Amino acid sequence: MNRSPLSQTLLDRLLTYVAVDTMSDPHIIDKRPTTDGQLELLQMLQHELNEMGLDDITFDPNGYLIARIPANAPKGSNIPTIGFMAHVDVADDVMGNGVKPRVIDSYDGKDITLNAEYGILVTDNPELSKYIGETLVVTDGTTLLGGDDKAGVAILMSLAERLVKSDSMVHGEVELIFTSDEETGGGMDAFDVSLLRSRCCYTVDGNKQGEVEAECFNAATVEVDFMGIPYHLGAARGRMVNSVSMAVSFIASLPRNESPEATDGRYGYYCAEEIEGTSAHTHLTIYVRDFELDGLNRRIGTLESLATTTEKLFPGGSVKVSHKIVYQNMYEAIKKDPKIMDAIWAAADKLGLKLEEKIIRGGTDGARLAQMGIPAPNLFTGSHNLHSRFEWVALPAMERSALLVEQIVAFWAGAVS
- What CATH number is attached to the domain comprising 304? 3.30.70.360
- Residue that terminates a domain, selected from 326, 358, 373: 326
Interatomic CA distance for residues 267 and 278, integer angstroms: 34
Total of domains in the chain: 2
> Are 293 and 363 found together in one domain?
no
> Are 30 and 161 found together in one domain?
yes
> Are 231 and 175 found together in one domain?
no
> Are 211 and 233 found together in one domain?
no
Q: Burial level of 8, CB count in 10 A (0-12/13-18/19+)?
A: middle
Q: So what's the pLDDT on residue 167?
A: 81
Residue 259 near residue 310 (C-beta atoms within 8 A): no
Domain presence at residue 195:
yes
Q: So what's the pLDDT on residue 56?
A: 98
Q: So what's the pLDDT on residue 29?
A: 85
> Are 369 and 313 found together in one domain?
no
Phi, psi of 322 (to 5 degrees): -135, 155
- Residue that terminates a domain, selected from 299, 326, 353: 326
Q: So what's the pLDDT on residue 319?
A: 98
> Are 44 and 173 found together in one domain?
yes
- Residue that terminates a domain, selected from 283, 302, 326: 326
Angle at 173 between CA 168 and CA 176, to 5 degrees: 105
Domain presence at residue 277:
yes
Domain presence at residue 33:
yes
Owning domain of residue 306: 218-326
Q: So what's the pLDDT on residue 415?
A: 66
Interatomic CA distance for residues 359 and 211, integer angstroms: 9
> Are 23 and 137 found together in one domain?
yes
> Are 56 and 185 found together in one domain?
yes
In sequence order, the 6+-apart residues with CB closer than 8 A to the CB of 237 are none
- Residue 361 host element (H or E): none
Would you name the residues annotated as active-site residues? 89, 182
Domain presence at residue 385:
yes
Domain presence at residue 16:
yes
What pTM, to 2 d.p., does this model score?
A: 0.90
Domain presence at residue 282:
yes
> Are 69 and 189 found together in one domain?
yes
> Are 26 and 147 found together in one domain?
yes
Domain presence at residue 243:
yes
Q: So what's the pLDDT on residue 375?
A: 96
> Are 321 and 391 found together in one domain?
no
Find the CATH number of the domain harbouring 190.
Answer: 3.40.630.10
Interatomic CA distance for residues 298 and 378, integer angstroms: 27
Q: So what's the pLDDT on residue 416?
A: 64
Domain presence at residue 313:
yes
Helices 36-52 + 147-165 axis angle, to 10: 20
Q: So what's the pLDDT on residue 76?
A: 85
> Are 112 and 254 found together in one domain?
no
DSSP bridge partners of 270? 288
- Residue 275 host element (H or E): strand 269-277
Note down pLDDT in tens along the chain; length 417 residues: 789 999 999 999 999 999 999 999 999 988 999 999 999 999 999 999 999 999 999 999 999 999 999 999 998 899 999 999 999 999 999 999 999 999 999 999 999 999 999 999 999 999 999 999 999 999 999 999 999 999 999 999 999 999 999 888 999 999 999 999 999 988 899 999 999 999 999 999 999 999 999 999 999 999 999 999 999 999 999 999 999 999 999 999 999 999 999 999 999 999 999 999 999 999 999 999 999 999 999 999 999 999 999 999 999 999 999 999 999 999 999 999 999 999 999 999 999 999 999 999 988 899 999 999 999 999 999 999 999 999 999 999 999 999 999 999 999 999 665
